[in-house]
Structure 1
């Protein structure tokens, strides 16, 4: 009734038949998290026995991906330890052409 009164289909794009008690459970966990309640308090309030409720607490993409692009462009050194000799192969690895053979080999 609340979703209908708040006109969810036109305002939020959520059909009324997609809203059930599970939606309230997830929404409640999010509301408590956003209000500053601890994970333990949310777990007790929702009567969760496991940490499943953490899947419902959604952080914004900005918060969860902070610093990811910077870390992705970080350079790593590759080494090859062949025959007990330590060699830095970073330059060879970065400057080589990478190709993958997708043709299946004939079975013997």
Structure 2
């Protein structure tokens, strides 16, 4: 739909969010990203049956891990959008960007 969303959002497409591994969530944070979010199928409507449930469990695992390291768990999350929900996806990108901006940079520039 070519809807506008923040230019600092990087989209990585995967066949199913169930393919997103814990390392896929941690690596961007290690490389300086301020947050990582997964956008998956609506609950109960996963094309691969339970991929979004697997992704949600991995996101929760990463949230606990980074919290134990002293990083805000809100920097990692999951949202649910269907392919036809372009405007909602763009709004999610804007909302997440604002939340992360309010948290500040994950690493100080010192």
What TM-score, normalized to structure 2? 0.23
Select the structure of larger CA radius of gyration: 1
TM-score if structure 1 supplies the norm length? 0.23
